[in-house]
Each structure stands twice: as structure tokens, then as C-alpha cells.
Amino acid sequence: MNAGLIEKYLEYVRVERRLAARTVELYAIHLKTLAEKADAAGVALDKVQTAHVRRWMAQLHSAGRESRGIALVLSCWRSFYRWLGNEGRVVANPVQDVHAPKADRPLPKALAVDDAVRLAELHDDEADPWTEVRDRAIVELLYGCGVRVSELVGLDARASTTARGWIDLDAAEANVLGKGSKRRIVPVGSKAVEALAAWLAVRDDCPALEGARVHDPAGAAALFIGRNGTRFSAHSVWKQLRRRSLRAGLATPVHPHMLRHSFASHVLQSSSDLRAVQELLGHANISTTQVYTRLDFQHLARAYDAAHPRAHAREDDTPGARASRRRDKDGQA
């Protein structure tokens, strides 16, 4: 009976729903697993209860199936029982309120301090001088202030009633418009101030700027502009930053949010002031900022592994093994 129900359902999704062949194939695999577990429990598919599904989900998790994989299996089972309900074979969907274990939140990728400094201090002699000055200022602002790329490209060269954000070099501050249209003021470090002053000294040398002021005054008012004299886009920042990181010899291409993560991680490592980092990043909830404490702990753990005389108490207790156990422990917490 179990096999017959599954075959009818697969025919339904193949013919009536017209799902892709690969999707139907995966459905067949997931439903075979369901049938095997139902047979082992001595229960027909149309008699399965929520308790059965929860137990089988726990078995998949114990066997090492990742949360995302379990979620896909449950989605298939849920759809199968929805079809059985439409066919009048079950009264309630036993999978409806069953959800996969929450996946571990991935750690943000941050640069090591030396790599971040190397990127910020890069002098690319092969680049166009005007572009080089602009791109150095962009890196210094992203890493030195931790602003989002959307906040960065929204900055204007001068304060005005229409500006989304602007830089005040005299006060060494950036006034930015963040998520939810919330404004905040972040300090601009001395290196970023120097880089921005150098950029503003040459910014108006763009030949297309005068024409842009007529046709796109809002774009021409931007702090960072392209060769066409209008506002530099977030996509352009991504491209230039990737190229610049490769020129700096970094192992991984850098994107703007990686510099934001690096800013937060490095400030937290030095100050241990989570609340200050929250304010600087413009996070509404401190729980969003707390992910950086895990990065900070990894930094401390590596220092311990490298320096403490008791860090290698057992020959088979390598730093990698200890790091793996820490990750496992974080996942179980």
C-alpha cells in the first residue's frame, strides 16, 4: 500500500504539477526514506502521526544530516501529506508543525588585521591616479568606519537638506542613513580623513562632472563619483574592491561587507565593548552584534593554542581538533 501511494503521488507531481525531472527524482528518494521508516515502525503511510515524524527527523539529525537537508526532506513529506489530505486519505497533515533543527548561523568572514592594513595601505602604481585616490578613500572609509556599502554610496560631498548622508572632515564624522531610514553619526579615523581629503582635492577634476551637474545634479553631488561624473554604484564598489584586494595579494577577494565585519571584529578585539560596536554598526538589536564575540573568541583561542605551554597537553590534541570541538560545542549550545 505504501509503495502504491508514493507512485500515485510521484505521477501527480510529474504530470499535473509538471515538476522538473530532478525534483521528482529527489522526491522519490525522500519518500522512499519515509516508506522505509514507516515500514520499520509497522505503520501505514496514511496512519503516520506527528510523533512518528518527529522521531524520524531526530534520527536523520543524529545520522549527521544537515539542517538544510532535513528541511528539504520535511518539505517533501509535507507536500506528500497535503496531497493525501486533498485525496481524502488523511484528516490532518502530520508534518505540518514539524520543522528542521535551526541551522548554525555562519560566522561573518573578517580579514586578519595585517591583511586589512595591507589592503588599506596599497598604492597601485598601475591604476589611473584619479581612480587610485578615490578607491583608497573608499577602502579607508569602509574599514575605518564600518559603514555598509549602501551607506557609503549614499554619501554626498557636502551636507545639504537633500543629502542622504555626508562627511564632515572638520569634525571627523560621517553622517549616514542606515537601514530603516535611521541616521547615525560615526567617527572617521585619521587615516580615513587623510584619504578623503586627498580625494576631495582631485574629485572635481572629472571632465564629465560639469555636464552631470546639469543632467543629474543628485548624482553629481555624490561623495564618490565615476568617470561619468555621477554617483558611484554599490556594484562598482564591489568590482573595484575585488580588483584592489587581488592587487594587494590577499588570498581571498574582498567584498565591502567583509570590511564591515573586519571593522567590527577588530574594534571588539581591542575594546571588548560590544555596546559601542552595536552603536557604530547601527544594529537595532545587540543580538545581531553578538556574532562578533564568536570571532573574538576564535582570535583568543588561536593565541592560546600558539602561546600557552599547556595548550598541547596531548600529542593528538592539535589546534585544529580543538577548534573543531569548540565549533561542535557552539552548535550544541
Task: Give catalytic residues, as residue numbers.
Answer: 148, 179, 257, 260, 283, 292
Question: Inter-axis angle of helices 67-86 and 50-62, to 10 degrees?
Answer: 160
Q: Phi and psi dihedrals of 198, rounded to 5?
A: -65, -40
Work out whether the CA dihedral 124, 173, 155, 145 comes out positive or negative.
Answer: positive
- Quote the CA–CA distance of 277 and 252 in Å, as a whole number: 25
Which residues are bridge partners to 265 per DSSP?
none
- Quote the CA–CA distance of 248 and 135 in Å, as a whole number: 13
What DSSP designation does 313 have? -
CB-hemisphere CA count at 13 Å for 308? 11
Q: Which residues contact 290 (CB under 8 A, 6 or more apart)?
A: 274
As a dihedral over the C-alpha atoms of residue 89, residue 91, residue 94, residue 99, rounded to 10 degrees, the angle is 120
- Residue in the structure block whose three cell numbers are 515502525: 41
Nearest to 301 by CA among 325, 273, 275: 325
- Quote the CA–CA distance of 301 and 299 in Å, as a whole number: 5
- Quote the CA–CA distance of 89 and 129 in Å, as a whole number: 73
